[in-house]
Amino acid sequence: MSESIKVPDGYSFVKPINSGGFGSVVEMMENSTQKHYAGKIIQCITPKDRERIAREVSRLRKFAHPGIVGLKEVASMDNSKVIVMELGGQSLADIVRDHTSRGVLVAREVVYRVMVDVSSALNLMHNDSSGVTAHGDVKMENILLFGGGHFKLCDLGAAESEDVSSTRSVMSQLYVSPERMESETGRATCSSDVWALGIVLHWLLFGEPPFKSQNAARLFREIGSFQVSLGRVVEEKNERF
C-alpha cells in the first residue's frame, strides 16, 4: 500500500503518479464532489521554483484547448504550490513501452490521434496573438491518454531557455533539435517543438527513436550529423501506411 502524501484541504490522497526534479504528481479526490484530479506538488522555495509555477499556471489558463490538460485551481500547502488539473490515464511513453514489450507497434489509429491532438495544441501555442509560446518539452512522457482515445499535452512549465545539456536526462535529450542543441541559449522555439513531435512520430511508427545513443555527447553528435536510423522494417507497411 502506498504511503499517504499530504494534499491540500478539501482533497484526499489516492495514489502517487510520478515524481521528478520538479516535485511529484499524485492522484487525489475532491471530497465535496468525489471527482478525481491530478495534483502537481511543487516546492515553492527559490525564485526559480516560483517562476516555473507561475509560468505553467499562466500557460494552462491561457491555452484552454482539447489537446492541453485542463487546469482546475492552484492550491497552497506549507512551502508548496499544488497545481490541480484534470486526471489523465497512461502516458504515451507507457503505452509505447507496453507495446514494445509485446513486440508490436502502436495501432495506426493511435498514431493519427496523437499527431492530430498534439499538433493542434502546439498550433494554438505557436500562433498566440499575444506572442509565440513554445512548449519546450514535447516528449512521450508529456502526452497523456484521456477518454475517447484522445491525447493531451501536459507539463507546460518548461523554460524556453532551459539548458538542454545539463538539466535534462538522456531520455529527454533524445527530443532536442539540432538548432536548439547548438544554440548558445538553448532556447526552445516552434521549430524545436515540431522536431520533438517528429521524434515522437518516428518512435510510434518504428517502435524506436531515430537516435539511440545512451551517452549524451555521442547522442548530440548523432543529432548534429543527422545519423538517423529508419528503424526495423515493418512487414505490413503497405497496410500500415
Cα distance between the two ends of the chain:
44
SS3 191: helix
Beta strands of the chain (E only): which ranges?
11-20, 23-30, 36-43, 71-77, 80-86, 143-145, 151-153
Copy the grid coordinates of residue 187: 532556447
**Residue whose C-alpha cell is 542543441:** 181
SS3 116: helix
Residue 173 φ/ψ, nearest 5 degrees = -70, -15
Active-site residue (options: 9, 117, 128, 137): 137
Q: Is residue 137 annotated as part of the catalytic site, yes or no? A: yes
SS3 114: helix
On whether the CB atoms of residues 234 and 105 are closer than 8 A, the answer is yes
> Sheet holding 11-20: strands in order across?
11-20, 23-30, 36-43, 80-86, 71-77
On whether the CB atoms of residues 56 and 107 are closer than 8 A, the answer is no
On whether the CB atoms of residues 124 and 65 are closer than 8 A, the answer is yes
Catalytic residues: 137
